[in-house]
Amino acid sequence: MNSPLISVVLPTYNVAQYLQQCLESVAAQTYRNIEVIIIIDGATDGSYEIAQEFCKTDSRFAVYWQENAGSGPARNAGLERCKGEFVMFVDPDDWIEPELLEKLYEAQCEGNYDLVASTRIKVEYDSKGQIKKIKPQHLTDESIVGLETVRHDYMRMLHTGVVSNPTQKLFKLSVIRENQVEFPPLKRSQDIVFNYRYYSCIQSLRLISYSGYNYRYMPAQLAGKSPTDYSKTIIFLYNDVQTMYQSWGMAFPEQEMCNWFFRVRIYTFLQIVVEQGGDIPSLLVDPTIRHIVQTAKPSTSYLKMTQRLVLARSYKMLKLFLKLILFIK
């Protein structure tokens, strides 16, 4: 049986110190029929030259330059150039195990699934660049078939991380193009929007327990990643998911969704703002943000205290409390 072409899209911006390892890991895949599309998103650190040199050693790799526009537009530029039947995304500061693509494709063949998803290995580094902890994560092998069943399980897939990021998954390029699914022009969280918009178009999903994607986690470098106006993105995401449920003709799981948004988006963002010395009150005056916080039913003591301080508008106390949590961690 002829193996179909799989496209690998690799958006790249200023991660020259990690790029070679990433490229070598993709080239070493046991599934050989691949094309690798590297989009250099205005990098200024020599990433373009590294990619150019690598492409000379492997004809399956091609590199393209664009002015800096962000990872979303870079991935869109990669998708436009894809010729494969399937596509996978890899981030340039991560690396993958040799069998990842083969495992994803083998699972896809079992039922011609619209989406095949695995999870990742979290490799945490300290401030000196040394590996501090390796935490393999695994999904449970599962097949979900049927439009209604897939959509009913959306919330569960959100909790398990299946619709959180575009890496370690195999997408059908035909589904992407027929439904014009693309990454939106957001500074952050473009990935989750792409994922749930793709998810909205599928009728079958396969989860595999194999983890072969190594996610480079560097807490010291995360603080500056969320823009100061990220609260606008949270509002957009919440309203957009509501619209998605309306288009499905399904009741919006407001309680569960508020729990998730408060824990994963709002609380995490507040921590980043405090770490950067930002202004908390301006983030929490929007009615949608306050509705999410008020509706949420947090399960941990630190989230309950955060909720209480937000609703009481005790922003000085909230800032001190979040600083204490960061110190303890």
Q: Which residues pair with 167 in a beta bridge?
A: 89
Tokens 């589904």 belong to residue? 175
Per-residue pLDDT at 8: 98
- Examine the pLDDT at 88 and tell me if it is beyond 90: yes
In the chain, residues under CATH classification 3.90.550.10 are: 6-221
Q: What is the pLDDT of residues 276-328, one digit of tens each?
A: 777 777 778 889 999 999 999 999 999 999 999 999 999 889 999 998 987 77
Of the candidate ranges 6-15, 45-54, 180-189, the one whose mean pLDDT is the lowest: 180-189
Which fold is adopted by the domain 6-221? Answer: Spore Coat Polysaccharide Biosynthesis Protein SpsA; Chain A (3.90.550)
Q: How much is the mean pLDDT over the chain?
A: 92
Kindly list the distances between the CA atom of residue 300 and the CA atoms of 49, 123, 158, 236, 296, in Å, as whole numbers in the listed order.
48, 26, 19, 26, 12
Of 76-90, 187-201, 263-277, the one with minimum mean pLDDT is 263-277
Q: What is this structure's pTM? A: 0.92
pLDDT at 225: 53
The residues, ordered by sequence, that sit 6+ positions from 234 with a Cβ below 8 Å of its Cβ are 261, 265, 266, 269, 288, 289, 292
Amino acid (1-letter code) at residue 291 = H
Per-residue model confidence (pLDDT) at position 301? 94
Asked whether the beta carbons of 112 and 217 are under 8 A apart, the reply is no
| Residue 222 confidence class, pLDDT cut points 50, 70, 90 | low
Q: How far apart are CA 165 and CA 243, in angstroms?
A: 20
Residue 232 one-letter amino acid: K
Residue ranges in 143-300 assigned as alpha helix (H): 147-152, 154-160, 173-178, 190-199, 230-248, 254-260, 267-276, 287-295
